Structure 1
Amino acid sequence: MFPTVDTEENIVQVAPQSNTSSPSKHAQRPDSSEGSKRHNNKESVTMLIKEMVFFAALALTTYGALHNSPSKISKHPKATKFFSSDSLVTDWHKGQLTNAHATINHVDLSFVMYYAPWDAESQYVRGQFEEAAMVLSDRVHFSAINCWNPGSECRMQHNKIPSWPILIAYTSTSRGVLYKGPRDAHSMVRFLELVMKPLERISTTEDLVQLLSICDAVAVGYTPITDTSRHYNTWYHAAVKIREFDFIGEVCFGVVTSEDLAVDLGVNSVPSARLMLWNDTKEYVLDESENTWNESSLINWVLENFSQPVGRIVPMWRKAFTFERYVDGSPLLILFTPLNPLYEQLPSYSLLREVAMEYYNCKHNETLNWTSELVKLQQVQRLMYQQKDFLKYCENFKFKQPIRKTNPLYRKEVVSHNNKYPWNNNTQQQKNQRGGMFSYLFKGGFDISKVVGSGEKSYLMSTLGLVEECSAPVMPAEKSFYDSYEQCQFTENEKHENEPLLEEEELRTTMLPFEDDPLSPENLIQDNVQHFCKLMRFANTWGPPVYPQRVTTNVSHIHGLACAQNSSLNMLAVDSVRNHHFAEFLGIDITSKKDKTAVVILDSKHESQYLLSEEYSAKSLRDFIHNFTYKNLKRSLRTLVDDAERTHYFGSDGEVEQMGIDEQTIHVVDLTTHSFRRLVRKPDMLTIVAVCGGLCSASTTRAALEAARLLAACGVPARPARLDALRHDLAWHYTAVTYPSIFVFSPHSEEGEMRYPPTARVSGSGLLALALRGLRAPQRMRVRLALCARHQSTKEKKTCLRDIREHITTVIGRNLKYWRRTENRELKDALLKRLQYLHRVSLELSLLHTTDLGNDQKELSLLDSLSKLSKHWDIDVSMLRNNIASPQKLTS
């Protein structure tokens, strides 16, 4: 301690006391010393308190200094490349947004992926993105930008991205088109193909009819080319931007730039737009106050008026699910089939669309004739498409080295490759009357008299000619098409190797030679064919084309059948490759179906579903809809597909090996619709089935297991089981009103299944009591003896044995009554034998005491008598034909 005032004064005061001896001084010292001591003690306490406060402050300061050091922050990891160094994707892994956009602005079309390297979805999309780049890298620039790296340019400008990755296509006009479709390579390629070719130029009426025959809807813009081309650019940008909402190309966009053709098609003023649907045609009316010729107004107009007979569902795994708008109480018809996004047409989907247009085309509809003719046109287009073999076409196509362009007078026939399989029908070359689709196009304002009266062979003439020929007398007549297939052959426009030149001499020219000019028409045609074949080979990796079964007989009509009932079918199409789990949840093993194609009708109002059992074809589909409308279909029972992938169901089907389970072990079996039937019909087996709305609770499962174990211990074969009613359908009389519902199936019960009271608490004893009602008398007494042995008090055991004795007395009296009433000698002898064993059991039961319950000799003798009684309990049914008593009473 530091020296204090007290210590110093004490040292000073001690020295004089030893040297003084004056009595007077010695007499005066006590008073002064007591005052000084009190003063010194007070100051000592004060100084001690100060010292304590000082040390406390010092300790707090030291503690704060040690624990208030600056927090340590770990540095973010160094940005690394997300894509490999040899990838076709340019990876801006440091988030260099300015450099990336500078590169993007110098190309016609680029596809950019904004990613976070730690995100699982980004890691999955990376492989699909690279696969798409391998297909389109020669036409589209692929870039990837790390927009998560802290401190990067992309992160600083876009720091509130809700989810990863973000895919955007940028055109040469720097307009970003957000990709919202599925994250697989095939769908990405389809989206980019639509962005690359957003418009189809309509030069003749043939082009318009061609679009009508393959598209769900056709949006046509009438924008003649002017000096500024402002209206055309607006229509072009609208066609590109709408791919954010229509990434599979359900709406085809066309443009008419010829004023003469626009006048022939009935257009009075330009710019103008029409949306041609399956049952109507909408016209975009310019209005100074509301509708103006701008991009947003045109897109909203198309989206608001677009309708289709069959909805193509592409689930995006978001809260706003696409099935929601179709679930309005009406039954749903769902077609599960591969919907390859890269094929120009999907015959399975096209067939459903034709049937839907026929189904909804009611007689009172103003556009009845238009829809009927459109059905014929689309059907012929589908049948034509089914005859094409793209892979074979690509294998046989000769990619020849072009000859040298030596003469400016060289002329060569220009062959259109819009239709890669032109189709000729010799029987219709001279047919030039106005009818069929021509008349309805004419009524809609289309002046096609020049086309009809020209007499020249054209695709439109041949197509509509076959419509008229194959539509009589029955339509749709696929059989007629195949019967006349020899007259409807497809030919390929292949260039001849030896084509004459007008002049043979070579002339000097400043033009590039043909083989050195990549943008020459011939080379562009070659490049287009090569690109087409590349897409077809890539599409085939998804799966080969799927075609409906060929129809060999005429089919029935379902014209206007939607108006025959109060409610009509909503028809949907779902891809069975990407979304096979939907079919599996409905109990459809889609992998075992031909071409992975199945049709199911869901009737939520009647809680039923119906599955098309025949192969998918024009006839089976129409018959299926017809039979459902008139209630001639048999209900299909939905059951979970056990071996399906990614169904998120982890139940047991009773066949898996489990630790500690052998033949003697009783375990709960998880049933399906099919195994339920097999189990409840199993002979000599009592089954306790708990039907639950989802997974059964532990208390319900435990109660069924306890009852089965006790029955098995008493020699009664029993098995507990459970069934998830949300995944497996049962017959109507097994449908549960409340969950859980428990059924007991006994092989000896004449009443069939017995149901546990829905209001009673589920317990093992309650289930055992219900099971006893379905057992024969010998088995019932054996189980009751085991129950008596389980009681703890002697009084309860006595009461239990008394009840058994009363029961055996009642059984003896009933059988004695039957013996007296019957006149059949064989039946009388059988009943007498039964009575003898009953009396023996009654005697041994009367000699049984409560202390004998267990393993006593008396109980073993009683059980042996019950076994002998069981062997003579059954009576031949043929003996009961002339008996008054019922079989139920004799076996109870």
Structure 2
Amino acid sequence: MFPTADTEDIVQVTSLNRKPCVNSDVRDSSDNTQLAKQQTNRELTLNMLVKEIIFCIAVALTTYGALHNPPPKISKHPQAVRFFDPESAVTDWYRGQLSDALGVVNSVDISFVMYYAPWDAESQYVRGEFDKAATVLGDRVHFSAINCWNPGSECRLQNNKIPSWPILMAYTVTSRGVLYKGPRDAQSIVKFLQLIMKPLDRVSSTEDLINLISICDAVAIGFTPLAETSKFYNIWYYVALKAREFDTVGEICFAVVTSESLAAELGIHTVPNVRLMLWNTTKEYTAEDPLRPWNESAILQWVLENFTQPVSRIIPMWKKAFSFERYADGNPILILFTPLNPLYEQIPSYALLREVAMEYYSCKTNNSNYLTSELIRIQKIQRLIYERRNYAKYCESLKHRKPKQNLNYKREIVSHNNKYPWYNATHNTPKTLAFDYLLKHRLAMSKALDSANDEADIVATLAMLQQCDTKVMPAEKEFYDIYEQCEKYEESLAPEQELESDCSNLETSMLPFDDDPLSVENLFHDHQQYLCRIFNFANEIGPPVAPARIANAEEKQNISRVEGLACEKNFTLHMLAVDSVRNHHFAEFLGIDVTNVKDKTAVVILDTKLETQYLLSEEYSAKSVRDFIYNFTHKKLKRYLRTHVEDASHTHYFGSEENVGDESTNENIVDIIDLTTKTFRKIVRTPGTVSIVAVCGGACSAGTTRAISAAARLLRSCGVRARPARLDALRHDLPWHYTASHYPTIFVFSADGSREAESRTYPAAQRVSSSGLVALALRALGPRRHLRVRLALCAATQVSGLDSIYMLSDKKTCLRELREHVTTVIARSLKYWRRTEHRELKAALLRRLQYLHQVSLDLSTLHITDLHENSQKQKTLLNSLSLLSENWDIDVSILSKNVTSTEIRS
């Protein structure tokens, strides 16, 4: 048989490894190899067939499963439902119709849009506040809400990466969106929209500018004349709009001057131009500077970087923020907690602090000191005038009043701060100023003139009214010098009496205004009703508050002078203002129950360097706050210790209970008292009781609580009145000498009269344990009671079960240490006896030594088996200890000069 190719190859391969061997069995060997090869090929073929069959079965099963399995079950998203009530003033696009919503937005002048997610808790909270704002401003602003979470909706597809909900955007007629970043309450939203509706104040005279400076923290005024193009004006308008993303309450007032003559009168020679008028300086931004381009981003950044104010208004955003961080630079901080309702035109309590702050920061070396003083006096007059206005009474009378058409009434429309620029009227003759003052206050001219006795009095009255007229700049007319006279004169008039028109019967060519909603009278009446609606809405939170007035002239003369104090010391007092209505929890954390203080107004100074705080104890007024700052600057204030605020519903605290009753009579039941600043001294000064106080930074741990309770229980079992207590140092301040450097810190106060002086502190490096606290308490007991308590501790060791040998060893050790302690006390008393030369003192020490030797003798005969109540040896030892206690005290008056009272008593 001829060899196959396979066999030949195999032979060739094997021939390389070994030489062929020729013998008689060569033919048989070839046959065996051929049979083995055929068997191997058969097995390989069978294996391949099995694999192919298995593969075909798997493919068949997979195909069958793919064809017959049902599609995966996917739960459908819930159907979108309305987020706002159908009767709400908010248009709810709850299906996410973004194009339809933006179409409506583009068709109105001003709109406010809320992008929300129905499941979001913040969106659910803002829903109510958004609805309130829509109720107030629904006739002037279009309110819309768009569901941007509905799967498959247009809003969700175009905005699928919104980081948080809700998003609040205001849109103007130019379709430019302004993001709202302020507080999510209705009052703040309404204030923000008021600023959006009127981003710029038109300045048409110097009086308008003075009025803005007197009521605003800063005035950014742009000089953009409308000559050939409105490009510069539009840029300045957009800057005023965009600034409301960072200033939602209107601390910066934006104004515009379009008159070239007025700009030249104010010292502007090149336009466009921007001036930022601050309380102590004025900064200028010109378009001619190549480094300062005239565009929105550059101007806005310049305004925000240069804006400073004497009192910073802090508005926490209810998120993780660092609103107070930039003021914690080592200098003290004064915080005014007062209602900062943004809807009121002025906040007198905040305005008063601004006046005081400007005085405090005005250094005598500053060139602008004179202008600052004038500004302070103008602001004071504006504040006092605002305090005297009775808006509630005026709005109540406006309900029953209808617009009137007469010439004298129209004079009421003209305002000194140009609130109604659409009414063009001027007063060029000085004669009308006095009567204009009467008309603006709705007073009766007849009564004003009848109050004068003769012609000279009438002339004097009119001259005073001319000076009282607020249309004239107060700084020029010395208005502040006669303000009190103007006040008295205004009180003598009848503001309720309406002015009767002398020209009502005159013929006129003017059309009747009854059917004209855009007439001057109807527009003015509508605007007054709108202002009253805003005032009533603001009054829902609380009425406007004002500082207390100075009672008499004597108190006015005793006001402390704070001018320039910031330059006299090596520190500067930062002054802040926080809303006490929305953020009262800040005051509660400082231990101030501001919700129960008069007008919810309180002032506190925090000295971060010394970790102290000081609270204004008097009523907030111009005198008290100045005295408060002056006394702090000269270190005349007493430190205020913050403590628990009762019923602080929005503040989490630990240890607010003031139950300081007697401890339980049962030794096994130990009540741990939660201390406050007010109850701390009462507890530690309780006579005859050892107090174990754990001072923790928050809630005390379970180990610390268990240790102090076990130590008190053990001391009570030995006949010592012990009371455990704990205190949260983060919310309750202690006197200086108890300020803890680490937490927990455990104090042990002795039971004798010198409790605070003899207090001891548990070692910081040691683990807190009940045995360590008992040892520390024994040192606080003094030698007289120390021996008796240690004897009771030795007798308290129980012998039971398998631990009997160990307990017996502990008793022996306890007695041995007690004997060593008595020996130490004898040696110390003997040393004092040898050192003194005073006869009476020597006799007293010798008498103490005799009783000590008797105690030592009785103790040497005591065995561990005698440590029980019926033991005669233990009773004898207790009698000796009683005699020692009666003869231990030594009259301090007979002590020698070279021996201190502490050494003798110990």
Q: Is the structural similarity TM-score above 0.5?
A: yes
Which of 725, 728, 732 is equivalent to 1:728?
732
CA distance in structure 1 between the partners assigned to 2:571 and 2:746 by the alignment: 36
**Is 2:785 aligned against 1:779?**
yes
Given the superposition, is the C-alpha separation of residues 491 and 50 from structure 1 closer, same or farther in structure 2, using an over 3 Å criterion? farther
Opposite residue 778 of structure 2, the aligned amino acid is L
Aligned residue in 1 for 2:488: 486
Question: In structure 2, what is the equivalent of residue 445 of structure 1?
Answer: none
Deviation at 1:762, TM superposition (A): 2.9
Q: Deviations over 1:9-56 (max 9, x none)?
A: xxxxxxxxxxxxxxxxxxxxxxxxxxx9xx999999997997799679
Deviation at 1:842? Answer: 5.4
AA matched with 2:533:
K
- In the TM superposition, what is the alpha-carbon distance from 1:734 to its structure 2 partner? 1.5
**CA 1:256–1:465: 2 relative to 1, 3 Å:** closer
Correspondence for 2:530? 531
Equivalent in the alignment of 1:648 = 652
- Residue among 581, 587, 590 paired with 2:591: 587
Give the conservation status (yes or no) of the 8 Å contact 2:80–2:95: yes
Match of 2:171 in 1: 170
Q: CA deviation at 1:254?
A: 1.5
Task: Give, in whole Å, the separation in 2 of the partners of 1:697 and 1:330.
Answer: 34
Partner of 2:358: 357
- 1:416 partner letter: I
Q: Is the 8 A contact 2:398 2:529 kept in 1?
A: no
Q: Where does structure 1 lack aligned partners over 5 or more consecutive residues?
A: 1-35, 431-451, 471-479
Aligned pairs (5 A) from 1:15-54: none
Q: Conserved in 1, the CA contact under 8 Å of 2:852 and 2:884?
A: no
What's the offset of the Cα at 1:154? 0.5
Q: 1:226–1:814: structure 2 CA closer, same or farther, 3 Å change rule?
A: closer
Q: Distance in 1 between matches of 2:149 and 2:665?
A: 52
SS of 1:84 mapped into structure 2? coil
Greater CA drift, 495-504 or 139-148: 495-504
Output the CA distance in 2 between the equivalents of 1:312 and 1:179: 18
Q: How does 1:228-243 map to 2 (within 5 A)?
A: 228-243=229-244
Distance 1:781 1:159, change over 3 A: same
- Alpha-carbon distance between aligned partners in 2 of 1:651 and 1:516, rounded to the nearest angstrom: 69
SS at match of 1:774: helix
Alignment of 1:710-859 (within 5 A): 710-748=714-752, 750=754, 751-788=757-794, 789-790=796-797, 792-808=806-822, 845-853=859-867, 857-858=871-872
Offset at residue 724 of structure 1 (A): 3.0
Q: Secondary structure at the match of 1:219?
A: strand
Gaps spanning 5+ residues in structure 2: where?
A: 1-34, 420-429, 436-462, 799-805
Higher mean C-alpha deviation, range 375-384 or range 801-810:
801-810
Q: CA deviation at 1:815?
A: 7.6
Instruction: Tell me how far apart the structure 2 counterparts of residues 859 and 63 of structure 1 sit (CA, whole Å).
Output: 97
Change over 3 Å in CA distance of 1:250–1:662 after alignment to 2: farther
Aligned to 1:861: 875
What amino acid is aligned across from residue 817 of structure 2 in structure 1? Answer: D
* Cα deviations by residue, 1:422-448 (Å, 9 ceiling, x for unpaired): 9xx99x979xxxxxxxxxxxxxxxxxx
* Comparing 881-890 and 693-702, the one that deviates more: 881-890
Distance 1:468 1:404, change over 3 A: closer
The 10-residue stretch of structure 1 (638-647 or 125-134) with the greater mean CA deviation from structure 2: 638-647
Distance 1:231 1:134 in 2: 36
- What's the offset of the Cα at 1:667? 3.5
RMSD: 4.1
Tell me whether 1:464 sits opposite 2:475 in the alignment: yes
Does residue 86 of the first structure (1) align with residue 87 of the second (2)? yes
What corresponds to 1:703 in structure 2?
Answer: 707
Residue 491 of structure 1 deviates from its aligned partner by 7.9
CA shift digits 1:142-178 (9 cap, x unpaired): 1111011111011111111110001111112211111
Percent identity of equivalent pairs: 55
CA distance in 2 between counterparts of 1:527 and 1:203 reads 24
Distance between the aligned counterparts of 2:305 and 2:506, measured in 1?
A: 59
Of residues 79-88 and 645-654 in structure 1, the stretch that sits farther from structure 2 once superposed is: 645-654
Kindly report which structure 2 residues correspond to 1:197-596, keeping only aligned pairs within 5 A, or say none.
197-226=198-227, 228-287=229-288, 289-397=290-398, 399-402=400-403, 413-416=410-413, 418=415, 458-461=469-472, 463-464=474-475, 467=478, 469-470=480-481, 485-487=487-489, 496-501=499-504, 503=506, 513-551=512-550, 552=552, 553-554=555-556, 555-596=559-600
Asked if 2 retains the 8 angstrom alpha-carbon contact of 1:217 and 1:251, the reply is: yes
When residues 403 and 849 of structure 1 are mapped into structure 2, their CA distance, relative to the original with a 3 A threshold, is closer
Is 1:609 the counterpart of 2:626 in the alignment? Answer: no
Is this contact kept in 1: 2:337–2:579, CA < 8 A?
A: yes
- Once residues 851 and 58 of structure 2 are traced to their aligned partners in structure 1, the CA distance between those partners, rounded to angstroms, is 98
Per-residue CA deviations over 1:676-708 (Å, capped at 9, x if unaligned) read 222111211111222333443433333323222
**3-state secondary structure, aligned to 1:721:** strand
> Could you state the TM-score of these two structures normalised by the residue count of structure 1?
0.81
Normalising by the residue count of structure 2, what TM-score does the alignment of the two structures yield? Answer: 0.80
User: Which string of whole-angstrom CA distances, capped at 9 and with x for unpartnered residues, describes residues 397-421 of structure 1?
Assistant: 364334689xxxx896432354699
Helix, strand or coil: the match of 1:459? coil
CA apart distance, 1:574: 0.9
Q: Give the AA of the match of 2:816.
A: R
**CA separation in 2, counterparts of 1:291 and 1:414?**
44
TM-aligned CA deviation for residue 378 of structure 1:
0.7
Cα offset for 1:725? 2.7
Q: Distance in 2 between matches of 1:481 and 1:861?
A: 89
Cα-to-partner distance string for 1:86-112 (whole Å, 9 max, x where unaligned):
111111000001111111122211111
Change (3 A) 1:861 1:136: same
Aligned to 1:14: none
2:840 and 2:655 map into 1 onto residues whose CA distance is 54
Residues 413, 537 of structure 1: alpha-carbon distance in 2 compared, 3 angstrom cutoff: closer
C-alpha deviation, 1:210, in angstroms = 0.8
Q: 1:869 to 1:160 in 2, by over 3 A?
A: farther
| CA distance, structure 2, for counterparts of residue 811 and residue 567 of structure 1 | 54
Provide closer, same or farther for how the CA distance between residues 65 and 874 of structure 1 changes in structure 2, counting only shifts above 3 A: farther
- How many Å separate the matches in 2 of 1:239 and 1:634? 46
* Counterpart AA for 1:753: S
What's the CA shift for 1:226? Answer: 3.1
1:134: which partner in 2? 135
Output one character per residue of 1:471-502: Cα deviation in whole Å (capped at 9) or x when no partner. xxxxxxxxx96587314659869863555346
Displacement of 1:278 after TM fit?
0.5
Change (3 A) 1:696 1:55: same
Write the deviation string for residues 338-380 of structure 1: whole angstroms up to 9, x where unpaired: 1111111111111111111111111111211111111111111
Deviation at 1:544, TM superposition (A): 1.2
Distance 1:404 1:469, change over 3 A: closer
Shift of 1:759: 3.1
Q: Do the aligned partners of 1:691 and 1:725 also contact (CA within 8 Å) in 2?
A: yes
CA contact (8 A) 1:668 1:705 kept: yes
Q: 1:515 is paired with a residue of what secondary structure? A: coil
TM-superposed deviation, 1:737: 2.8
Task: Kindly indicate whether the alpha-carbon contact (under 8 Å) linking 1:429 and 1:462 is maintained by their aligned counterparts in 2.
Answer: no
Counting matched residue pairs gives 810
Question: 2: distance between equivalents of 1:867 and 1:93?
Answer: 87
Contact 2:631 2:637 in 1 (8 A): yes
SS at match of 1:729: coil
Q: Secondary structure at the match of 2:472?
A: helix
